[in-house]
Amino acid sequence: MQLRMNVEKYQEDCTTLQRLILSFQLYRINLRSKMAKVKAHELRDKSKSDLINQLKELKSELGALRVAKVTGGAPNKLSKIKSVRKNIARVQTVYRQNQLKALKSTIEADAKNKTGKMYLPVDMRVKKTRAIRRRLTKEQAKKKTEKQAKKIAAFPVRKFALKA
C-alpha cells in the first residue's frame, strides 16, 4: 500500500517514459490485489468520498491494465479490462443516482416550504413524449375568450326529451 502511494505521488512530475514505468509498477501492485465484481447494492451504502476514492482506484487499475495490454500482458489480465470498465460504470451510476436522490429531496423540501425555484431541473421533470410535453395544460385548454364565454351563456346546449 505504501509503495502504491509513493508511485502515485511521483507520477505527477515525470516524463512519459517514467510514467510508463511507474504505471507498470502500479499494474504489478494491482495484480496482487484481487478486484472482484462491484455490487451496486453495496455501493449505495457508501459515502460520496468513498465512491470517489473507489472510482480513482478503478481508473488507475484500468490504466495499468491498458499499459499491460500494450506491453503484451497475460491474456487473463486483458480480459479483466471489461470487468473493470463495467465496475467504473457501476460506481458512476450509483454516484449519479445518489446525487439525483439528494437533489430530489431538497426540491421536495423546498416545495413544502414554498421557498424553491419556479422550475424543476430538466432531469427531474417527467419524461413522457415530446408531443405530450408541448401540449397545453388542462387549465389552458379549458380557457375561453370573453366573446366565446358570452355566446355559450346566451345559447346553452338544448336538451330534448322524446315522447314514447
The share of the chain scoring above pLDDT 90, in percent, equals 51
H helix intervals, 12-162: 16-32, 40-43, 48-71, 75-78, 80-113, 130-134, 138-142, 146-154
- Higher pLDDT: 111 or 138? It is 138
Q: Is the pLDDT of residue 10 over 60?
A: no
pLDDT for 5: 53
Q: Tell me, what's the pLDDT at 32?
A: 46
Q: What is the pLDDT of residues 84-121, one digit of tens each?
A: 999 999 999 999 999 999 998 888 888 788 777 777 88
102 close to 54: Cβ distance less than 8 angstroms: no
Copy the grid coordinates of residue 104.
430530489
Q: How many whole angstroms separate alpha carbon 164 and alpha carbon 161?
A: 10
Ranges of each domain in the chain: 46-109
Q: Are 65 and 81 in contact (CB under 8 A)?
A: yes
Confidence band of 17 (pLDDT split at 50, 70, 90): low
* pTM, full prediction: 0.58
Q: What is the mean pLDDT of residues 77-81?
A: 89
CB count in 10 Å sphere of residue 43: 19
Q: Identify the CATH class of 46-109.
A: mainly alpha
Rounded Cα–Cα distance for residues 127 and 133 (Å): 8
Looking at residue 54, its pLDDT comes to 96
